């Protein structure tokens, strides 16, 4: 039995990263996330593409999508190396969806459904461990000691795009570009819709059940 190929969809702050970490632990899959990959390469020189900005970081700090040429390449390489994966943050528009379809098959497509006001609260209160990437929330999931990671003791930081202004812009960009991707998979009849406003443990119970029902 090979490891499942999972796609997790949802707006910024829906809980994709939070649930992906649990999927990695439970199913032994690779976490393939364009957001983390791009954050690790924010200063990469993409001036040869002759587009609006010369680095991924400039798009990210504006809440805009990084050009398809850049993200498609990241995903292709990561998926080639993975034995089972949870893909998080991609595809984000129609052209990325077509590209993904041309390079792999999926076993499960999850969608975490969360209301806009809740998304903003989650994003502006998020804190991330700079060492292990674990995610906390100042109100909804506070670490035992403020500013310190429960899992590894690392320092927690706030993402540069988690200001209220940029968070709202990211949600707008999502509505315009990525909500149609959700519709596409819904029309295909493969979307596992999950109420993402439950507690993290309740969401996880639904996520796990959906993967177990679809992957074998």
Which residues carry out catalysis?
16, 92, 126, 159, 170
Q: Does 149 bind Zn ion (CB under 5 A)?
A: yes
Q: How far is the CB of 37 from ligand AP5 (least distance, A)?
A: 8
Q: Which is nearer to ligand AP5, 2 or 80 (CB)?
A: 80
Q: Which is nearer to Zn ion, 71 or 149 (CB)?
A: 149
How far apart, in whole angstroms, are the C-alpha atoms of residue 157 and residue 51?
30
Q: Which is nearer to ligand AP5, 181 or 215 (CB)?
A: 181
Q: Which is nearer to ligand AP5, 1 or 50 (CB)?
A: 50
> CB–CB of 106/8 below 8 Å?
no
Report the interface residues with Mg ion, using CB under 5 A. Answer: 17
- The reply to whether omega before 91 is within 30° of 0 (cis) is yes
Q: Which of 122, 121, 116, 120 is nearest to 135 (CA)?
A: 122
- In the region spanning residues 113 to 132, those forming contacts with Zn ion, defined by CB under 5 A, are 129, 131-132
Contacts of 57 (CB under 8 A, 6+ apart): 42, 43
Work out what residue 151 binds among Mg ion, Zn ion, ligand AP5, none; the CB cut-off runs from 5 to 8 Å by kind: Zn ion
DSSP single-letter state for residue 107: S
CA–centroid distance for 94 within its chain: 17
Work out what residue 152 binds among ligand AP5, Mg ion, Zn ion, none; the CB cut-off runs from 5 to 8 Å by kind: Zn ion
Contacts of 16 (CB under 8 A, 6+ apart): 8, 9, 10, 33, 88, 89, 112
Work out what residue 5 binds among Mg ion, Zn ion, ligand AP5, none; the CB cut-off runs from 5 to 8 Å by kind: none
Alpha helices in 30-93 (DSSP H): 34-39, 56-61, 68-81
Report the interface residues with ligand AP5, using CB under 6 A. Answer: 10, 12-18, 34-35, 38, 59-60, 63-66, 71, 89-90, 92, 96, 122-123, 125-126, 135-137, 140-141, 161, 170, 199-200, 203
Q: How far is the CB of 3 from ligand AP5 (least distance, A)?
A: 21
């Amino acid at each position: 039995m090979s490891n499942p190929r999972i796609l997790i969809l949802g707006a910024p702050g829906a809980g994709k990263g939070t649930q992906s970490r649990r999927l990695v632990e439970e199913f032994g899959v690779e976490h393939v996330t364009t957001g983390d990959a791009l954050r690790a390469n924010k200063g990469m020189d993409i001036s040869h593409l002759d587009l609006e900005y010369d680095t991924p970081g400039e798009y990210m700090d504006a809440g805009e999508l990084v050009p398809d040429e850049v993200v498609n390449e990241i995903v292709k390489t990561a998926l080639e190396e993975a034995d089972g994966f949870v893909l998080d943050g991609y595809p984000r528009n129609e052209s990325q969806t077509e590209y993904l379809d041309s390079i792999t098959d999926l076993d499960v497509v999850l969608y975490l459904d969360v209301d806009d006001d809740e998304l903003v609260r989650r994003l502006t209160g998020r804190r991330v461990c700079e060492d292990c990437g674990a995610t906390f929330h100042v109100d909804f999931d506070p670490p035992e000691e403020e500013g310190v990671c429960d899992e590894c003791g690392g320092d927690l930081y706030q993402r540069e795009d988690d200001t209220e202004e940029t968070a709202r812009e990211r949600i707008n960009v999502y509505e315009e570009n990525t909500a149609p991707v959700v519709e596409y998979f819904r029309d295909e009849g493969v979307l596992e819709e999950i109420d993402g406003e439950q507690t993290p443990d309740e969401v996880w119970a639904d996520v796990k059940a959906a993967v177990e029902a679809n992957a074998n």
